[in-house]
Amino acid sequence: MRKHLLVILSAIIIAFPIFMVNAQESTYKFDAGVHIGMSGYLGDANESNMFKHPGYAAGASFRYLFDSRWALRGVFSTASLSGNTADWEDQFPGGNHYEFKSQIYDLTIRGEYNFFPYGIGETYKRLRRWSPYLTLGIGATMASCDGNTAFAVNIPMGVGVKYKLKPRLNLGLEFVMTKVFGDNVDGKELTDLYQIESSFFKNTDWHSQLVFSITYEFGERCTTCHYVD
């Protein structure tokens, strides 16, 4: 799964200069909204099934709409994460078992690309009222577990689909995997279970969110061109 997400990252970078040429300007400049859904975790206390111990996820976002294909989005989200090694077949040194519960807070900036020109009306622009999209960004995570707080850089990457219910009202379904460049999302106790020292890229944690969103567009662009001789 992680290799597939890196492929998505590369595809977005390569596609950016190609698709910007053919994009159509959107009617509104901004949108804002909220999202809610469930969260998952991969790390020392869960190495395979991300949603084995699901939690909740919720948040809010603000987008700047460059055109009908591209947007820049700021997202604040919170999620509950948990894990338990009691039912694992693998054994840790000393035969120990571990479990944790934590609350995380993410603040990210993401680029977003719609596969189709997204919009409603203006059929000459070939707009579609639904579109799948890719998203990629960078941000920071704060995790609180067992009275301890940790901070780390993160990279969110994901896919989604959006549907324009009305000219300004949008519904969305999104799945995002977030790579956290730190090993304390699941608490300090779970940083060295195999007695292998953590590093910037090794033993780091992942978390995910599958969420439903609703957003509202505002800030209408000027639709009349004035020519001054």
Instruction: Report residue 129 as tokens.
Output: 């009222």
DSSP designation for 46: B
| pLDDT above 60 for 193 | no
Domains and CATH numbers, the chain: 2-220 (2.40.160.20)
Q: What is the pLDDT of residue 77?
A: 97
Average pLDDT on 29-51 reads: 86
Q: What is the pLDDT of residue 85?
A: 72
The answer to whether the CB of 106 falls within 8 A of the CB of 137 is no
| pLDDT above 50 for 229 | no
The answer to whether the CB of 27 falls within 8 A of the CB of 218 is no
> Any idea which of 6-10, 29-33, 128-132 has the lowest mean pLDDT?
6-10
Exposure string of 100-120, with b = 16+ CB inside 10 Å and e = fewer, is bbbebbbebebbbbbeebbbb
The answer to whether the CB of 38 falls within 8 A of the CB of 4 is no
The answer to whether the CB of 110 falls within 8 A of the CB of 95 is no
